[in-house]
Amino acid sequence: MKIRVTSVMVDNQDKALKFYTEVLGFVKKTEVPLGEHKWLTVVSKEEQDGVELLLEPMGFEPAKVYQKALFEAGIPLTAFNVDDLDKEYKRLLKLGVVFSTPPTQMGTVKLAVLNDTCGNNIQLVQIL
């Protein structure tokens, strides 16, 4: 058994694709039309054979409640690793990304939390 796909719930797939590729820097891997939505995944530029991130359309009402509650509490839906968090933070700030938590050291990791503009907080993590 292997982990091949994980997902983030997004309010709009096209907007999400733009943010996750043009701002965060991921690469589109799969786009398969499925009625009003699509199976849409992105991968890390450095690991294009790695785990795919599904930009999952928000079609299920209870999920909206869950997403909103997480967002309001500032809790990240998921986390991505970076090699140099301070550098990435500066790069993303220049692109207009909003951070609810700036780079903060927690023991041997450094983390920051950003707004993905699709309804989620996303945590960036650097292992020190």
Partner 1 sequence: MNYYQTELTRIRNQFFAKEDLIKRVIHGKRFIDSNFSKRLNLNTVAGEAYIAKFHFIRTFKTFYGLTPYQYLTSVRIQSAKKLLRRNHNVSEVCLAVGFESVNSFTNLFKKITGTPPAYFRSSQNTKSNFR
Please report, as ranges, the residues that interact with partner 1 according to CB under 8 A. 72-76, 100-101, 104-108, 111, 113, 121, 127-128
Rounded to a whole number of angstroms, the minimum distance from the CB of residue 50 to partner 1 is 13
- 17 or 110: whose CB is closer to partner 1? 110
In whole angstroms, how close is the CB of 49 to partner 1 at the nearest point?
Answer: 9
CB 40 → partner 1: shortest distance, Å?
23
- Report the alpha-carbon distance of residue 24 to residue 97 in Å, rounded: 9
Residue whose CB is less far from partner 1, 18 or 68: 68
Cβ-based nearer residue to partner 1, 111 or 118: 111
